[in-house]
Amino acid sequence: MPTEVKSAADIAAKWARVTPGRQADYEAGATVAGGKWLTETANAQKAFQSAVTAGNIGAMYAGGVKRAGAEKYNRKVRDIGVSRFGPGVQAAQTDMSNGMAPMVEAIAAVTKPARAPRGDMANRARSEVYQVALNKKRLALRAAGA
């Protein structure tokens, strides 16, 4: 005898009706889970490496993108993303500042070479000193676990 089960549409309707009322439960659990997340994520390094280098990872990624499709992407941006954009940006202000500070400091420490005449290939060095400084800072931050 087949297993009796509700339809996916019925399950989703109940989930959408009941779950929003559990926001306080989510907040109580999620706002204190950072330590556990940090530990378990750091411990997952080997599993992550195996997953992202699996022979079929490209096909799996492409399949997931194709399955989701452009319509879902557009719908989620329209129905959720747009209304969350401004508040999300405002909530990220401190993170943006903290994340950019080391790079801004690296840029400020650069002494750029003198400008050559227009079209002179020596002018490339003016941007290269920034590229080198920023890449050096990026690698130093990654090595430090930042």
At 106-146, the pLDDT tens digits run 999 999 999 999 999 999 999 999 999 999 999 999 987 65
Spatial distance between the Cα atoms of 135 and 110, rounded to a whole number of angstroms? 13
**Position 79 in a domain:** no
Domain boundaries, position 144: 94-146
Global pTM? 0.67
Split into its structural domains, the chain has a count of 1
CA nearest to 141, candidates 107, 99, 97? 99
**Position 130 in a domain:** yes
Please return the burial class of 129, using the count of CB atoms within 10 Å of its CB with bins 0-12, 13-18 and 19+.
middle
**Position 9 in a domain:** no
**Position 102 in a domain:** yes
**Position 99 in a domain:** yes
Please count the other Cβ atoms lying within 10 Å of the Cβ belonging to residue 106.
19
**Position 146 in a domain:** yes
36-to-17, 28, 31 alpha-carbon distances in Å: 30, 14, 11
**Position 2 in a domain:** no
